[in-house]
Amino acid sequence: NAGVTQTPKFQVLKTGQSMTLQCAQDMNHEYMSWYRQDPGMGLRLIHYSVGAGITDQGEVPNGYNVSRSTTEDFPLRLLSAAPSQTSVYFCASSSWASDTQYFGPGTRLTVL
């Protein structure tokens, strides 16, 4: 089991560029989510999905888009990158009976 994988590990964008952060899990988990982590802010929920074809917004969804066509994958799209989106992004997954979400290693994104 690879668990939760994220690509890329690092990314630098210019303001206005778009990109997709990839997330995949091989644990057949129904629930997947994206968080961003900023200094002094903990982790904040961006978007989440309770199953293929179902997504919903979290606490800080503006500027991000998601879709979930398969159980395994949950990509996060930045539509037009802004410096305020400089952060570390974590993908996580869990099942209905989980005590925890399993987190990926993170993607460090810098927007210039």
Which listed range, 18-26, 62-70, 73-81, 93-101, lies at the site for another protein (CB under 8 A)?
93-101
Q: The sheet that has 4-7: what strands, in order across it? A: 4-7, 19-25, 76-78, 64-66
With CB under 8 A as the contact rule, the residue among 26, 105, 110, 112 that binds another protein is 105
Tell me if the bond preceding 61 is cis, omega within 30° of 0.
no
Write each residue from 51 to 90 as x if it is in contact with another protein (CB under 8 A), else as -, in one continuous string. Answer: -------xx------------------------------x
- Tell me if 24 sits within 8 A of 92, measured CB to CB: no
With CB under 8 A as the contact rule, the residue among 44, 52, 67, 71 that binds another protein is 44
